[in-house]
């Protein structure tokens, strides 16, 4: 496994036709992609699904074959450019296309809770997240800022990359992602549209379809503002649960909640210039397919999660954000950084605090996007230790 870069860098910049973009990404990220495949051997969330009687090599081969069988046709139908990019990534990295499709499938699996195995228990998920967006009177500059903590397992942290992507006929974008993914976890394009991605814990992920990160990259490539992005997302197939924060250079903002074929848009309250969320849905329609409050992780989950309520951490982080943001003065980069580094009123960090320090999950990257300025501040590691680096698009 590679050591994570403590100082984020734009690892690869690529432009051209989809397959050319993919080949450049694969070549530039070859070591990361190879390391990602090796890391699956120690990834609890992947290994715990392995039948006891099946050798790991056979299990990996089967999982990769199944992922491509299920996903390739839906991806090609919805995003032919990203399907070609994924093919190019496999060629550039020197790995099989089956392996690349497994990584895309694992993203959606992070949010799909199998409550049929032993109700009311759930199989494992791999990640959490927290996002805050401010503008106008809530922003120290009056301009929009989005702060995002990306929480994940330590095995994934060495695979984080920044990439600049410019597909033919598309808007140029700066994307934070996990190396083998065709799509983006977070990103901002040259028009100033920013999208951040929190996983949603849904009981209804939908049939096999392109991942949410693919949807994000597609929206960044084709949309200039929040309204265009909402329309793009509404008409696109996807698999898995998500809470997306959308903000543009003009200060329009929306939280988009996704689960299977369901989508709801949440705007700031009247007179408010603030939105936030963790991994819990807010809208009634998405609440219907969220893990019920009493759902607990089963014995199929990694040991640190077993017996714990799935929604415990999102509930506590949302409550803490409401408390911290209730009477805050206008927030700038430093004030937002302090909020995202919060360890609770007792200053005891855990996997239920905004800056997460858990036995399974932790805050592994923290980002601040400034759409009007087309700027990003990013650090890898917990928010309480962040030493941000700045990038411009």
* DSSP one-letter string for 327-381: T---B-HHHHHHHHT--TTTT---TTSSS-B-SS-EEEEEEEEETTTTEEEEEES
Beta strands of the chain (E only): which ranges?
A: 10-16, 121-122, 128-134, 145-152, 160-167, 173-178, 186-189, 194-199, 241-247, 253-259, 262-266, 274-277, 296-297, 362-370, 375-380, 389-392
Per the structure block, which two tokens stand in for 215?
A: 């949807």
Q: What's the confidence (pLDDT) of residue 64?
A: 95
* CB hemisphere CA count around 343 (13 angstroms): 12
- Predicted local distance difference test score (pLDDT) of residue 215: 97
At 114 the pLDDT is 47
Domains of the chain: 10-109 (no CATH), 121-392 (3.60.60.10)
Predicted pLDDT at 328: 79
pLDDT of residue 279: 95
pLDDT at 50: 87
Asked if 202 contacts 289 with a C-beta cutoff of 8 angstroms, the reply is: yes
Query: Which residues of the chain have a pLDDT value below 70?
Result: 1-6, 109-127
- Tell me the sheet residues that pair with 276: 132
**Burial class for 38, CB neighbours closer than 10 Å (0-12, 13-18, 19+):** exposed
CB 257 within 8 A of CB 286: yes
pLDDT score at 1? 45
Please report the pLDDT score of residue 116 as a whole number. Answer: 30
Say what the pLDDT of residue 115 is.
Answer: 34
Measured distance CA(393)–CA(387) in Å, rounded: 20
What b/e sequence results for 357-372 when a residue is b if at least 16 CB atoms lie within 10 Å of its CB, and e otherwise?
Answer: bbebbbbbbbbbbbbb
């Amino acid at each position: 496994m590679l050591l994570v870069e403590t100082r984020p860098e734009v690892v690869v910049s690529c432009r051209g036709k989809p397959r050319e973009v993919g080949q450049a990404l694969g070549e530039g990220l070859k070591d990361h992609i190879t390391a990602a495949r090796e890391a699956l051997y120690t990834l609890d969330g992947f290994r715990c699904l392995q039948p006891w009687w099946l050798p790991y090599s056979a299990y990996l081969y089967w999982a990769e074959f199944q992922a491509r069988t299920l996903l390739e046709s839906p991806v090609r139908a919805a995003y032919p450019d990203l399907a070609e990019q994924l093919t190019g990534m496999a060629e550039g990295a020197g790995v099989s296309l089956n392996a690349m499709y497994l990584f895309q499938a694992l993203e959606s699996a992070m949010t799909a809770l199998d409550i049929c195995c032993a109700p009311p228990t759930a199989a494992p998920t791999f990640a959490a997240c927290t996002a805050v967006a401010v503008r106008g009177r809530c922003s120290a500059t009056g301009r929009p800022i989005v702060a995002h903590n990306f929480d994940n397992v330590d095995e994934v942290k060495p695979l984080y990359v920044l990439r600049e992507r410019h597909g033919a006929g598309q808007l140029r974008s700066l994307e934070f992602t996990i190396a083998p993914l065709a799509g983006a976890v977070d990103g901002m394009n040259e028009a100033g549209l920013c999208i951040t991605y929190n996983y949603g814990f849904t009981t209804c992920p939908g049939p096999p379809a392109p991942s949410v990160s693919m949807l994000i990259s597609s929206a960044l490539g084709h949309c200039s503002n929040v309204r265009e992005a909402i329309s793009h997302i509404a008409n696109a197939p996807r698999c898995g649960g998500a809470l997306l924060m959308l903000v543009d250079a003009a200060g329009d903002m929306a939280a988009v909640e996704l689960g299977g074929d369901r989508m709801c848009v949440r705007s700031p309250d009247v007179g408010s210039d603030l939105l936030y969320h963790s991994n819990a849905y807010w809208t009634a329609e998405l609440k219907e397919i969220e893990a019920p409050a009493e759902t607990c992780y089963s014995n199929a989950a990694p040991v640190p999660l077993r017996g714990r309520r799935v929604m415990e951490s999102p509930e506590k982080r949302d409550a803490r954000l409401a408390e911290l943001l209730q009477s805050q003065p206008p927030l700038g980069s430093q004030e937002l950084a302090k909020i995202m580094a919060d360890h609770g009123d007792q200053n005891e960090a855990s996997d239920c605090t905004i800056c997460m320090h858990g036995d399974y999950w932790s805050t592994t990257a923290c980002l601040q996007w400034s759409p009007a300025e087309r700027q990003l501040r990013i650090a890898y590691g917990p928010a309480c230790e962040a030493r941000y680096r700045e990038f411009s698009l």
